[in-house]
Amino acid sequence: MPSFDIVSEVDRQELRNGVDQAQREMVNRFDFKGTNSSIEQNELVITIKTISEEKARAVRVLLEEKFVKRGLSLKGIDWGKFEQASGDTVRQVVTIKVGITSDKAKEINKLIKEKGPKGVSSQTQGEQVRVTSKKRDDLQAVMALLKSEDLGIPLQFENFRD
């Protein structure tokens, strides 16, 4: 029976490369000279430190540009609130969301059941959703349906089987 899996992942190497590129550009840009700005990455958590919220927003734009150029979706990024840090600096913690939560999985299953073709079934398996159908065309219709909906997380389709 044809099936595929819906997952929400991020390419960690591309994420690291995007952060590194942003750091290098930040060092060379004139508007960041003397601001003591930095970007630190620890797995899926990125910390932005700089002198003001305005500069932090500029770093955010810089990061977003690098992520888009590297093909990373901005849907899975949770931009935290600005916090006061030591020495009159501002910190913003950015988390990258990976995996499909149970609430999102329920939303995806409900969407497939309501708007998907007849004969398509879906079930949650941990942090992914498996979709099965007797026809390949129905599975491709489900993929198109999910791409057109804004679920707030990046979705990838894997393990397409006939």
pLDDT for the residue 76:
86
pLDDT at 161 over 90: no
pLDDT above 90: residue 87: no
pLDDT tens profile 27-69? 898 988 888 889 999 989 999 999 988 999 999 999 999 999 9
pLDDT reading at 94 higher than 90: yes
pLDDT at 149: 86
Neighbours of 123 (CB within 10 A): 11
pLDDT in the model for residue 150: 84
Reported as a single tens digit per residue, the pLDDT across 97-154 is 888 888 999 999 999 998 888 889 899 988 899 999 998 888 999 999 998 888 888 8
Cβ proximity of 117 and 141 under 8 Å: yes
Domain residue ranges in the chain: 3-8+99-161, 12-96
What's the pLDDT at 162?
80
The region, left, alpha or beta by phi > 0 then psi within -120 to 50, assigned to residue 21 is alpha
pLDDT of res. 88: 83
Query: Is the whole-model pTM more than 0.85?
Result: no
Q: Which two tokens mark 129?
A: 């959703």
Phi, psi torsion values for 63, nearest 5 degrees: -60, -45
Q: Do domains 3-8+99-161 and 12-96 have the same CATH topology?
A: yes
Pick 12-96's CATH classification: 3.30.300.170, 3.30.70.990, 3.50.50.60, 1.10.10.60.
3.30.70.990
CATH fold of 3-8+99-161: Alpha-Beta Plaits (3.30.70)
CB 142 within 8 A of CB 118: no
pLDDT of the residue at 32: 87
Report the chain's terminal Cα–Cα distance, integer Å. 6
